[in-house]
Structure 1
Amino acid sequence: LVLRSGALPVPVDVEQEQTVGPSLGRDSIEKGKLSMIVGGVAVLLFMIVFYRLQGIVADIALILNMLFILGFLSSFGVTLTLPGIAGLVLTMGMAVDGNIIIFERIKEELRVGKSPLAAIEAGYGRSLWTVLDSNITTLLTGLILFWFGTGPIKGFAATLCIGIISTVFSNVIVARVITDLVYGERKVEALSI
């Protein structure tokens, strides 16, 4: 509050001054990339362990999602910074969340006695609005951060917004197409989920 009302009523003395070289920034970026890779591998394994074949479907969709995002960012010459990496990590979490919502809905449909293909159809259909709602609210938050933010906040928000748009496409379209390719029109006795 004092800073908002004007100058400080006391003199400011510099007690410590430090210059940070570019190697520290490079080290932070490298550690950020490493954490994204380790986190990504952990998420991929989690999906396979808990959702078996559908987990593999989700993993393929997640990898394609990240390729879409990175391709889009690189086509515009965007430099990936720590806030950008944070936006990618959050996007990865949102993508996994969308797949979990869909897969849990498919499991619910199986529990009430639907056939595997009917459960897939109902699971994707009935979870659509939940997936859209969660992603749209995050997108709106990202747009507000982009609009009012500066510097790193704006970079985080831009990466997040691009990631959320790609995530909705990957959850709703790509994962469904892969699921349809896996199960096709053949008679399916059970789902690996």
Structure 2
Amino acid sequence: MYSGDNIVDAAASIDTQTGGPIVSITLDAAGARINQRVTGKNIGKRMAVLYIETRSKIKTDAQGRPQKGPQGRTLRTSQRIEEVITAPVIRDQLGKRFQIEGLDSVTEGQDLALMLRAGSLAAPVEIIEERTVGPSLGQANISQGFRSVVIGFGLVLIFMFIYYRTFGLFANVALALNLVLMVAVLSVFQATLTLPGVAGIVLTVGMAVDANVLIFERIREELGNGNSPQASIHMGYNRALSTIVDANITTLIAALVLFNFGTGPIKGFAITLSIGIVTSMFTAIMLTRGLVNLFYGGRRVEKLAI
């Protein structure tokens, strides 16, 4: 008669008169005309609801081995499978809206409505590749993600300490606290840490280092201009502040857009990135400035270890 493309809606409910499960179906205009014409001529007969699936099957030789094509790809053949889902009796001439009664349970009605709403695919599904994934794969990926965070974090610490000496040590302390703050905030919100979330943490570590590098290079520039160490520290932080804030705000806007329009994994990445931006700005601007002032403030300094 008509296919799933003609079904506009299908909803499972309970008949208020009989108390039994029913499925209410709504057809489009073309399906309604077909339904009215066919059911009017077949009152008292059964109308079968068919589930039709085209499955892809591997071609095999006489020994049962998969056959290969010219390019080495496994040859497949299509197999059409038809299954009667339900076959209710036509009690009257039907039109655009009608109901299927006599179902055994509410669950059966819900399953039937779900299959009817699914409609039909324009083309059969062909399996290109099939893999069996064990439950340990997720844990292995998480472990590898954390290992990458630790390795990246360690390399950054070494580089900052070698290249910026005492100031690099201040940056390393701030970077460690940044990770602690991120984990604390994620724990407060009871957020689940996924692989995209781990990627967000790794990106945040790099962004936090970028902020410190901007500040330290600005201090070096002020020292090269002949300013005193104390003045160079003050001017370095003040003049690098606007650049750091602008860069982090633009990244935060992108993270918010990802969170608003993205799906589950993308949202996990956006959450950790957003939290990391806020914590990295705090540690890079406030914490390192406090450590520098604590170490160099209130005393006369002839040379900075930077």
Superposed pair shares fold, TM > 0.5: yes
2:236 matched to 1:123? yes
Matched, 1:39 2:152: yes
Q: Normalising by the residue count of structure 2, what TM-score does the alignment of the two structures yield?
A: 0.59
Aligned length: 188
1:64 paired with 2:181, answer no
Structure 1 range deviating more: 39-48 or 74-83: 74-83
- Provide the rounded CA distance (Å) in 2 between the counterparts of 1:149 and 1:95: 25
Aligned-pair distance for 1:185?
Answer: 1.1
Structure 1: which 5+ residue stretches go unaligned? 1-6
The higher relative CO (CA closer than 8 Å, separation ≥ 6) is in: 1
| RMSD of aligned alpha carbons | 1.5
Q: Which amino acid aligns with 1:134?
A: A
Measure how far apart 1:35 and its partner are.
0.7
Helix, strand or coil at the partner of 1:189:
coil
Letter in 2 for 1:126: R
Query: Which of 173, 186, 191 is the aligned partner of 1:73?
Result: 186
CA drift of 1:15 comes to 4.7
TM-score (norm 1): 0.93
Please give the per-residue CA displacement for 1:57-95, whole angstroms capped at 9, x wherever unaligned: 000011111111111111222221100100000000000
Q: Greater CA radius of gyration, 1 or 2?
A: 2
- 2:193 maps to a residue whose letter is L
Q: Corresponding residue for 2:200?
A: 87
Q: Distance in 1 between matches of 2:166 and 2:303?
A: 11
Residue 12 of structure 1: how far off its partner (Å): 2.1
Separation in structure 1 between the aligned mates of residue 283 and residue 132 of structure 2, nearest angstrom: 43
Q: Which residue number corresponds to residue 107 of structure 1? A: 220
Report the Cα offset of residue 22 of structure 1.
Answer: 1.9
Higher strand share: 2
CA distances 1:131-182 after superposition (whole Å, capped 9, x unpaired): 1011111111101100110110000001100110111111111110011111
The percentage of aligned residue pairs carrying the same residue is 53
Structure number with higher helix proportion? 1
Runs of 4+ that moved beyond 6 A? none
Give yes or no for the alignment of 1:162 onto 2:278.
no
User: CA offsets per residue over residues 1-42 of structure 1, 9 Å max, x none?
Assistant: xxxxxx775422335433312201100000000010000000
Provide the C-alpha distance between the structure 1 equivalents of 2:229 and 2:198, rounded to a whole number of angstroms. 38
